């Protein structure tokens, strides 16, 4: 043990200067994302999509070292010292920087410090805000017939007079596109000096904030009036200034996606958040994973094995998580699925049904209404009329994939014993309705939902989506309150009812409990009911 400890102290790690891109998390390069997924520590700045931190392993250390205009933050020396220290501890370190590390990101200074300290290091390029922010506004930085060159200039330097580049007047004679970063506070003087250098006051100009900026704004004008317009609009840093003929262009698609500009926070297990993210981003939303939930298996009682004693019964699943944990339990015990020959399988909805199918089981019953109440009523109806209708399939059942009725009752009679295999936080209404209908119910908690990784701080959101009542509880235990101005969307009535214990305003509720229905509900609300 002592020898291993001594080796670790002398082991040198590696540092990767990774450009996070400008804007949404998926603008990072594939190489950068893979490095994040395999790092031991990450040191990050302000202007990144915090969603990227969800890709970092749970065992990795995260260090925020941002510094923005007007706000105290870590000095460049402190950042370099931290990178060197972490590498000397033997860690694989990702230095995550907004945009591209070498485009006014001081990446060169960090690389020089690492090389001087003998630390193995590498730079991974990223999409620069100098290109991405104009593109987001429909401005190409070069365009045939308008601009054959691009000049990226800092609008904040300690070397020039007034904090502006010394050769600003000479830049006025260039015919290409001028893109200034970090120059918003000096925009008026910047424009004056360019005009003094011979740049026409009628030259198209734009001031743009986007990407990961807290406030997205777009101001168009000319070199002669852009400073006044930006001031009147109250544009906040960080912003990109574009001057040149291409600043008059707005090359945007004609058909906006229904959720363009909407900031949506999602909560839930990776299974549901993965679906929500794919759907919402495809519709144009900017998606933030606010909180992940983990399905943690519970110790199962010995009586669990009684479920395959040959007694006809319904095995009921209310989530894909429950199905996966149940079959893992069977694998661990090397249980023979033929022991369930007398059993029927019921699911709350198609997604849960698909989870069963992956294990070779076609559900016998799936209600038309995919809720706990709908499932309970379908089960009660199936048992009540099972014997006389066995020849035609179970009442209320349907193939989750959309086919015809399920298979006929193999035993010629309907089981009246029902085992609920689900979360310990499952809705009470399910066993309650079954018991009210005289059925024998065994509630077997397979797992509990526990809070996994969460956002360090809540971003500005327009909508917050909850996919379970347990998720509502965990969210308020973690954050205490909703983000200011955010509205809520719930996957179903049970989740909405739990949310009512924390906030008075009724949430938007999906018509059926699924990621697809949640996305559709949000589109209908945003578009005033016109979305189909």
Give the CATH number, domain containing residue 76: 3.40.1010.10
Provide the pLDDT confidence category of residue 409 given band limits of 50, 70 and 90: very low
Using 50, 70 and 90 to split pLDDT, how confident is the model at 168? Answer: confident
- 139 and 20 inside one domain: no
Least-confidence region, from 49-63, 105-119, 345-359, 407-421 = 407-421
Q: Which of 422, 448, 474 lies at the terminal end of a domain, its last residue?
A: 448
Residue 475 has pLDDT above 90, yes or no: yes
Structure confidence at residue 391 (pLDDT): 41
The confidence score (pLDDT) of residue 402 equals 36
- Cα(264)–Cα(489) distance, rounded to whole angstroms? 10
Q: Percentage of residues in the chain with pLDDT exceeding 90?
A: 62
Examine the residue annotation and report whether 45 is marked as an active-site residue of this protein.
Answer: yes
Look over the chain and give the mean of its residue pLDDT values, rounded to a whole number: 87
Where does a domain end: 68, 96, 126? 126
State the catalytic residue, choosing from 38, 46, 65, 67: 67
Query: Which of 495-502's residues contact partners 24+ apart within 8 Å by CB, and which partners?
Result: 495/466, 495/467, 495/468, 495/469, 495/471, 497/469, 498/469, 498/472, 498/473, 499/466, 499/472, 502/472, 502/476
Which of 448, 471, 504 is the last residue in one of the domains?
Answer: 448
pLDDT(388) > 70: no
CATH number at residue 486: 3.40.50.10090
pLDDT of residue 7: 43
Q: Which helix (H) or strand (E) holds 274?
A: helix 270-282
Given a cut of 90, is residue 305 above it in pLDDT? no
Q: What is the mean pLDDT of residues 354-370?
A: 93
- Number of independent structural domains in the chain: 4
67 tagged catalytic: yes
Same domain for 285 and 328 = no
φ, ψ for residue 177 (rounded to 5)? -85, 130
111, 182, 291, 414: the catalytic one is 182
Give CA–CA dist 22/44, Å, rounded. Answer: 14
Boundaries of domain holding 34? 14-126
Same domain, 38 and 103: yes
pLDDT value, residue 158: 59
Lowest-confidence segment of 134-138, 240-244, 301-305 by average pLDDT: 301-305
Is residue 381, in this structure, part of any structural domain at all? yes
User: pLDDT at position 403, please?
Assistant: 35
pTM of the model: 0.74
Give phi and psi for 490, each to the nearest 5. Answer: -110, 150
Strand order in the sheet with 121-124: 61-64, 41-44, 92-97, 14-19, 121-124
* One domain for residues 183 and 118: no
* From 45, 49, 100, 462, active-site residue: 45
User: Is residue 8 in a domain?
Assistant: no
């Amino acid at each position: 043990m002592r020898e291993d400890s001594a080796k670790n102290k002398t082991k040198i790690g590696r540092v990767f200067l990774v450009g996070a891109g400008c804007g949404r998390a998926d603008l990072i390069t594939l190489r950068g994302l893979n490095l994040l997924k395999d790092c031991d520590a990450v040191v990050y700045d302000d202007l990144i999509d915090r969603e990227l931190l969800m890709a970092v392993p749970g065992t990795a250390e995260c260090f925020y070292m941002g510094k923005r205009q007007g706000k105290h933050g870590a000095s460049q020396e402190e950042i370099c010292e931290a990178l060197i220290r972490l590498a000397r501890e033997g860690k694989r370190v990702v230095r995550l920087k907004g945009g591209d590390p070498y485009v006014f990101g001081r990446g060169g200074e960090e690389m020089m410090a690492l090389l001087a300290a003998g630390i193995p290091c590498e730079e991974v390029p990223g999409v620069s805000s100098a290109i991405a922010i104009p593109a987001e506004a429909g401005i190409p930085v070069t365009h045939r017939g308008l601009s054959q060159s691009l000049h990226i200039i800092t609008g904040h330097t300690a070397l020039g007079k007034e904090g502006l580049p010394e050769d600003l007047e000479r830049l006025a004679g260039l015919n290409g596109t001028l893109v200034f970063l970090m120059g918003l506070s000096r925009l008026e003087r910047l424009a004056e000096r360019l005009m003094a250098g011979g740049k026409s006051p009628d030259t198209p100009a734009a001031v743009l904030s986007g990407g990961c900026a807290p406030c997205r704004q777009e101001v168009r004008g000319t070199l002669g009036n852009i400073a006044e317009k930006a001031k009147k609009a109250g544009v906040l840093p960080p912003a990109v200034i574009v001057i040149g003929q291409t600043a008059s262009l707005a090359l945007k698609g004609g058909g906006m996606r229904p959720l363009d500009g909407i900031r949506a926070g999602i909560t839930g297990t990776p299974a549901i958040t993965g679906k929500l993210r794919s759907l919402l981003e495809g519709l144009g939303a900017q998606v933030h994973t606010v909180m992940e939930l983990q399905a943690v298996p519970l110790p199962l009682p010995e009586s669990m094995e009684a479920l395959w004693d040959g007694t006809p019964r319904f095995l009921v699943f209310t989530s894909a998580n429950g199905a996966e944990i149940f079959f893992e339990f069977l694998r661990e015990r090397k249980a023979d699925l033929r022991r369930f020959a007398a059993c029927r399988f019921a699911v709350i909805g198609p997604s849960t049904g698909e989870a069963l199918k992956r294990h070779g089981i076609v559900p016998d019953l799936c209600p038309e209404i995919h809720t706990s109440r709908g499932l309970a009523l379908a089960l009660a109806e199936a048992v009540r009329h099972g014997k006389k209708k066995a020849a035609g399939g179970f009442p209320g059942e349907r193939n989750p994939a959309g086919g015809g009725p399920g298979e006929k009752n193999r035993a010629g009679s309907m089981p009246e014993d029902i085992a609920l295999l689900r979360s310990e936080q499952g809705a009470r209404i399910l066993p309650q309705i079954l018991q009210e209908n005289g059925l024998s119910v065994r509630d077997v908690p397979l797992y509990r939902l526990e809070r996994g990784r969460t956002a360090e701080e809540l971003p500005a959101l327009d909508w917050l989506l909850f996919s379970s009542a347990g998720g509502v509880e965990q969210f308020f235990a973690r954050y205490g309150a909703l983000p200011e101005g955010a509205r809520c969307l719930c996957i179903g009535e049970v989740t909405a009812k739990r949310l009512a214990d924390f906030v008075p305003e009724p949430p938007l509720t999906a018509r059926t409990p699924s990621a697809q229905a949640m996305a559709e509900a949000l589109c209908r609300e945003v578009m005033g009911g016109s979305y189909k």
